[in-house]
Amino acid sequence: MLRHILIPLDGAKASESVLPTAVALARRAGASVTLLHVLETKAPGSVHGERHLVDQTEAEQYLQNLVATFPPDVPACWHVHAPVRHLADSLASHAEDFTADLILMCSHGHVRLRDRFVGNLGQRLASEQPAPVLLLKTPGAPQAAFPFRRLLAALDGQVEHEACLAPAAELARLCQAPLTLLGVVATMASLQNGQLASSTYLPGATAEILELQVRQLDEYLRRLAETLTAQDIQAETMVARGDPARQIISAAQARQADVIVLATHGHAGTAAFWAGSVAAKIIHHTDASVLLVPAPPSG
């Protein structure tokens, strides 16, 4: 259940663009909203040409003014934290202290470097605390369309990555939107380095293994979809072949998905296709919003 939404703000208009979506989402869920600004030590007065809050009194007044714009049926409060050196650590700590069910951030500023900073910050937050992080894209518009029209959740058959299902289902329920469950299986051409060596010596066996993975993943996704359908959530399944990041982005475009849902460990180096480096590619190259759901450790 979505009961509390945490919104980190830095004073820039881009970060404020999530507020209309936050209000609409909170209203549908019956959730409250907390606006948060964490002061940074030696922070610049502007970031890529946009205003950045560096003064305690100014930050408090800024958040108070924003809270005053919220409608009466959406409970909202604000908090300003004293200067810290490590922004991500402080935001993660606040998310746990406030028992946030969702962290909502804008990931599409006017400057591409800002996108990369916010995307990386979102991945850090997803790895350091339990709340999902919704990186909201606002391409060419003051706010993302809400309610979302369609969601796409990427899965690979690993139990720990099913952590993304509950948040995806809840968001689909609140938006009354269909949910696509997507699995990606490599082709011979898109195998990773470690797998590529064995495929060179045993190409026939490798091809058969990949085809078996397709069938197994298809059956797995169908079982999950049946469970979602029993919960009155419209779900469909899809198995794609090739490079994971490219196929996820392509499928989201083909399905006109507003949100891509990924379970993530928040760092590179895992075997899953949503390892940190692949999640970063998706965040930086898709026009869809991305919901990062912390995955529990494997094993």
- 131-189 per-position pLDDT tens digit: 999 999 864 444 456 899 999 999 998 898 999 999 999 999 999 999 999 999 988 77
Distance CA 196, CA 45 (A): 49
Higher pLDDT, 198 or 231: 231
Q: How sure is the predictor about 108, in pLDDT bands with cuts at 50, 70 and 90? A: low
Looking at residue 101, what DSSP letter applies? S
As a whole number of Å, the CA-based R_g of the chain is: 20
What is the share, in percent, of the chain residues with pLDDT greater than 90? 57
Encode 137-161: b = buried (16+ Cβ within 10 Å), e = exposed: bbeeeebbebebebbbbbbbbeeeb
First to last CA, the chain: 27
Q: How sure is the predictor about 2, in pLDDT bands with cuts at 50, 70 and 90? A: very high
Collapse the DSSP code of 103 into the 3-class scheme (helix H, G, I; strand E, B; otherwise coil) and give the result.
strand
> What pLDDT was estimated at residue 269?
37
> What pLDDT was estimated at residue 61?
96
Is residue 267 scored above 60 in pLDDT? no
Domains and CATH numbers, the chain: 4-136 (3.40.50.620), 151-294 (3.40.50.620)
Q: How sure is the predictor about 259, in pLDDT bands with cuts at 50, 70 and 90? A: very high
Is residue 112 scored above 50 in pLDDT? no
Cα dihedral angle (268, 83, 35, 144), rounded to 10 degrees? -40
Q: In this structure, how many other beta carbons lie within 10 angstroms of the beta carbon of residue 299?
A: 4
Is residue 296 scored above 70 in pLDDT? yes
Q: Token match 């298809």: residue?
A: 218
> What pLDDT was estimated at residue 148?
93
Q: What is the mean pLDDT of the chain?
A: 85
Rounded to two decimals, the pTM is: 0.88
- 5-38 per-position pLDDT tens digit: 999 998 888 888 899 999 999 999 999 999 999 9
Higher pLDDT, 187 or 114: 187
Is residue 277 scored above 80 in pLDDT? no
Higher pLDDT, 57 or 146: 57
Distance CA 105, CA 155 (A): 23
Q: State the DSSP H helix or E strand holding residue 56, giving kind and residue range, or none if neither.
A: helix 56-67
Closest of 137, 104, 96, 76 to residue 9, by C-alpha: 104
Q: How sure is the predictor about 76, in pLDDT bands with cuts at 50, 70 and 90? A: very high
C-alpha angle with apex 103: 100 to 105, nearest 5 degrees? 160
